[in-house]
Amino acid sequence: MTTLTILPSKRRIETEDGRLLGDCLVAEGVDLNLYCGRRGICGKCFVEIVSGDVPPPEERERVLLEAKNLDSSRFRLACRFRLNGDLTVRIPGPALVSKTRILSTGEGRTVALDPAVRKIAVRPERPGLNSPHSFVEGLKTALGRPDLRISPDTLFSSAAVLSRPSSASGAVTAILGDEDELLGLEPGDTESRLFGLALDLGTTTLVADLVDLADGSVVGTAVGLNGQASFGADVVSRITAAFQDPAQAVLLKEAVIASINALIAEIRRKAGVAAEDIYETVIAGNTAMSHLFLGLPVDGLAVAPFAGLFSVAPPLPAGRTGLDVNPAGRVYLSPNLQSFVGGDICAGAVATGLAFRPGKVLFLDLGTNGELVLKTDHGLQAASTAAGPAFEGTSISCGLAAREGAVEKASLRDDGTIIVETIGAGPAEGVCGTGLIDLIAVFLRRGDLARDGRILVPGKKLPFGGGLALSAADIREFQLAAAAVKTGIRALLASEHLSAGDLDEILVAGAFGARLNIVHAEEIGLLPRLSGNRVKFVGNTSLEGARALLLSRRERLAAEQLVREVRHLPLAQNAAFQQTFIESLAFEPWPARDFAAPGKQEEK
C-alpha cells in the first residue's frame, strides 16, 4: 500500500506501487493534460515531486526538462512516473487541461480542452551509418507511435521536411489527428501555432470563431451572410433549387464555400493567423445546410418522409471541401439528429449540456424552423415545426436579419411612447426577431393590438418610429410562426404527460437578436411563464456548440450519442395538431395548466 498525497488540494489516496502516477491522478479527477497520450513526448504533464523517491529522468524527459527550464531533481512527467513508495506531488497549473467557458449568455459550462488535432514537436534521431533507419521510422520512434498512420498524400507532403538536412534545433512538428494519424509535418517547433475554426452555418447568417487550440481562447469572430441567398431566402427554396439537379447542388455548394472563405479571410486578417495554421474546422448547420455544404443531393429532404443522407458524416479532409484552411486538416460536421432537427440543434444540446441538466428541460431554437428538444427523466425527444421566416425577419414587411440597423429591443415609456434600440445604435432600418417580439408586447400593452391579433388603431398600421410600421399581414405572419412553436411545445409536453408548469427550465436559443426579452415573450404567450428566472435566453448555441465540438473529442462522442438517443415526435400526423395550432394563435399568456393533462391526447 502506497500513500499518494496531492498538492495543493492535500488530498491523500491509498494506491499500489507500480501504477502510473498520471493514471492515479486522472482516476482521482485531476484534469491532467495528457496531450501526447502518455508517451512522454509533449512535456505538458510535468509535476513537482515534493517528497518521495525521484528516479533519474529518461533521456527524452531530460531534454524536455531542459527546454522548459525545470529543476531536474524535482520535476517528472506524470505520464511516465511509476509509483514506488509514498509520494507527495504538487500539480502546477500548466499540467492541467485548460478549460473554456461555453455560452456567453445564459448558463455557461466549461469544456476541457481535448481537441481531435494536436501538434507535437520532436527531434527525430537522424539516420546514421550505424542505424540507417528511414526518416519515417525515425519520426515514429520520436513520437512514441510505432503504429503512426501516414496517408499517401501526407507522405508526399511531408517528404521535404522529413528528409531535409537537420536545422539548428533538429525539431519538426507533427500534426496528429484522431487515432494517431499524421496529418502533416512542419519544420521547427510550431506547437504554439495551432488554430481551429468553429462555424455556425445558418441559412441566412454565418458566424465564425477562430480558436487558439493551445488554450481554447477565441482569437477572432466574424459574421457574414450565406451566399446561397441568391437561390432563395429559406431552407425549402434552397432544397428546391438543388432538387433533382446535381449541377445546381454544386452551385449552391460553391456559393456557401465562397461565403465561408470570405469570412475566414476576414477573421485571419484581423487575428493575423495563416490559413495553414487552421487544422480543424467544425461546422454546425441544419440538415439541408450540412448536405449542401458538401454538395450532396438533398432530394430526400424535399418530399415526405424527409430523409437526409447522413446523420454523422465522417471527418473530411479539409482539402476536399474547398475551405481556405490547411488542406491536410479535418472538417467535422455537427451531427444531424433527424431530418429537420439538424447539426445546429445538436450543437445547441451540446453547448447547453442538455442531456446532463437536472430535471425537465425544454430547449428551443427559434428560426425558420422552430426546433424543440425536451429532456426529461425518460430521455430526449425532439420535434420540428415550420415556423416560417418571421423570427428571422424575412416575411415581415419591415423585417431584417439581426444585423446593424435592426431594431432588437423596444419598450414602452410611462407616457405611452415607444422607445426602440437598434443593433449598432444607428437609425432604425427595420426590425429583427427579438425586436418584433418586444414590439408586439408593447402594442398589446398599449391596447393598439387585440389579443386575437386585430389591429385596433385607425389605418390598420402600427408605427414604431423612423417611418417604420407593422402591418396587419405582419402580425398575422408572426401569429402563425408563434403558434407553430407553441403547438410544438404543447405536443412535446403532452407526449410526456406534462404541463408547462412542470418544467424546471426553458432554454431559448436563436440567432435572431442578442437580447430576447423573456418577460415580453411570456406576455405574448410565445413562451410559458416559469417563476424565478428559469426561462433563459442562451443565444447562438449553434456557434457555441460548434466551439465545444472543436475543443473536445469527448463532446463529439456526446453529440454522436444524441443521434442514437433523441426520439422523434412527428407533429403533422398528430390528430390534435390542427386544433392546438388554432388555439395557439392568440396572444394569450400560456395557461397555468394547459390541456396537456394526462389522458387528453394521443388520439390517433
Partner 1 sequence: MTIELFSAMAKSVIEGDCQNSASLARAALLGGVPAAEAIEKGFIPGIREVGELWEAGEYFLPELIASAEAMKSALAILRPALSQGGPVLKEGTIVIGTVEGDIHDIGKNLVAAMLSANGFEVIDLGADVKLPAFIEAAEKAGADIICLSALLTTTMLNQRKLVELLVERGLRNRYKVLVGGAPASPKWAAEIAADGYGENAAAAVRAARALMGKG
Under the rule (CB under 8 A), what is the footprint of partner 1?
236-237, 239-240, 243, 302-304, 386, 452-455, 460, 472-473, 476, 479, 572-573, 577-578, 581-583, 585-586
- Say if residue 150 is exposed, middle or buried (CB neighbours under 10 Å; 0-12, 13-18, 19+): middle
What are the angstrom distances between the C-alpha of 456 and each of 286, 415, 468? 39, 19, 18
Biggest CA pair distance of the chain: 97
Cell numbers 473536445 correspond to what residue? 552
Q: Which of 438, 432, 440 is nearest to 512 (CA)?
A: 432
Nearest approach, Cβ of residue 437 and partner 1 (Å)? 19
| Strand locations in 131-258 (E) | 149-150, 172-177, 181-187, 195-201, 205-212, 218-225
| C-alpha grid cell, residue 430 | 427595420
Least distance CB 436 / partner 1 (angstroms): 18
Nearer to partner 1, 412 or 586 (CB): 586
User: The C-alpha cell of 420 is what?
Assistant: 426602440
Residue 301 or 380: the one with the smaller Cβ distance to partner 1 is 301
Q: How far is the CB of 148 from partner 1 (least distance, A)?
A: 48
CB closer to partner 1 out of 113 and 470: 470
- Alpha-carbon span 127 to 49, nearest angstrom: 36
Nearer to partner 1, 204 or 487 (CB): 487
If the CB atoms of residues 104 and 237 are measured against partner 1, the closer one turns out to be 237
User: How far is residue 124 from each of residues 35, 46, 121, 271, 279, measured CA to CA in Å?
Assistant: 19, 21, 10, 32, 23
Nearer Cβ to partner 1, position 159 or 303? Answer: 303
Q: Find the shortest distance in angstroms from Cβ 472 to partner 1.
A: 4
Rank residues 160 and 472 by Cβ distance to partner 1 and give the closer one: 472
Q: Is it true that the peptide bond before 246 is cis, omega within 30 degrees of 0?
A: no
State the Cα angle at 382 between 377 and 385, rounded to 5°: 145
From start to end of 72-217, where are the E strands? 75-77, 87-90, 99-102, 109-112, 118-122, 149-150, 172-177, 181-187, 195-201, 205-212
| CA distances, 322 to each of 288, 294, 316, 427 (Å) | 18, 10, 11, 38
Least Å distance between CB 577 and partner 1?
Answer: 8
Smallest separation (angstroms) from partner 1 to the CB of 218: 38
Least distance in angstroms from the C-beta of 289 to partner 1:
17
DSSP string, 450-497: -TTS-B-SGGGEEEEETTEEEEHHHHHHHHHHHHHHHHHHHHHHHHTT
Report in angstroms how near the CB of residue 453 gets to partner 1 at its nearest: 5
Closest to 490 measured CA to CA, from 603, 576, 379: 576
Q: Angle at Cα 410 formed by Cα 407 and Cα 414, nearest 5°? A: 150
- In the complex with partner 1, the residue whose CB is nearer, 20 or 450, is 450
The residue among 316 and 480 lying less far from partner 1, judged by its C-beta, is 480
CB of 390 to partner 1, least distance (A): 13
- C-beta of 230: minimal distance to partner 1 in Å? 16
Enumerate the β-bridge partners of residue 174: 120, 185
- Could you tell me if 201 and 290 are in contact, meaning their C-beta atoms sit under 8 angstroms apart? yes
When the beta carbons of 115 and 389 are compared against partner 1, the nearer one is: 389
Minimum distance, C-beta of residue 484 to partner 1, in the bound complex (Å): 10
- 195 vs 340, which CB is nearer to partner 1? 340
Q: In what order do the strands lie in the sheet with 418-422?
A: 418-422, 406-412, 430-431
CA–CA separation, 32 and 81 (whole Å): 14
Least Å distance, CB 309 to partner 1, is 16
The residues, ordered by sequence, that sit 6+ positions from 16 with a Cβ below 8 Å of its Cβ are 1, 2, 83
The Cα 484–Cα 386 span in angstroms is 6
Is residue 235 within 8 Å of residue 285, measured between CB atoms? no
Q: CB–CB of 428/466 below 8 Å?
A: yes
With respect to partner 1, which residue has the nearer C-beta, 243 or 595?
243
Q: How far is the CB of 578 from partner 1 (least distance, A)?
A: 5
| Closer residue to partner 1 in complex, CB, 132/459 | 459
